[in-house]
Structure 1
Amino acid sequence: MTTELDRTLRQILADVLGLAPERVATFAGDTGLFGHLPELDSMSVAGLLTEMEDRLGFIIEDDEVDGELLETYGALLAFAAAKQVQG
């Protein structure tokens, strides 16, 4: 089931990383992100997190950012869902 959060997060990834929406639409929970997508490098991480904050309406603290956050699409989606609940 696709949620509004899922659609928005996919759009953010497409916009920030310059990925085709068709490619992002194929991402599953276990799709690797950082280290798997050449477009998601250390330079683009800050842009991705900032765009998530802007579009999803929450603040990401520095201590919340670790390797696991960007390991898979599912991890990133779960993080965003938890942040919205905290919001």
Structure 2
Amino acid sequence: MQLEEVKAVLVDVLNLGDAGASLGPDSPLLGALPELDSMAVVSVIAALEERFGIMVDDDDISASTFATLGSLSAFVADKQAQ
């Protein structure tokens, strides 16, 4: 399941450890996870690009993309479909 793969990338890049296990589709990300700062967003995007074989342009990124785990997973799915 793609959501689980996106979650695994987040847990790995942000070093969330066991705390990442409770993340679900509706879990808030940006503003809710102190580990997810502006530098971490860049690292997460790079990891998602590598893991899923996608290219993310700066114009593609908005706060809504990182609102929840579900919105981030949907963003990745959209990029893969392009």
Same fold (TM over 0.5): yes
Identity %: 38
Alpha-carbon distance in 2 for matches of 1:25, 1:16: 14
Q: Which of 24-33 and 56-65 deviates more?
A: 24-33
Paired residue total: 82
- Any unmatched runs of 5+ in structure 1? none
Alpha-carbon distance in 2 for matches of 1:64, 1:30: 21
Contact 2:30 2:66 in 1 (8 A): yes
Runs ≥4 residues deviating over 6 A: none
Alpha-carbon distance in 1 for matches of 2:35, 2:23: 15
More contact order relative to length (CA 8 Å, sep ≥ 6): 2
Q: Report what 1:73 is aligned to.
A: 69
Matches within 5 A, 1:6-85: 6-20=3-17, 22-85=18-81
Alpha-carbon distance in 2 for matches of 1:16, 1:38: 13
- Any unmatched runs of 5+ in structure 2? none
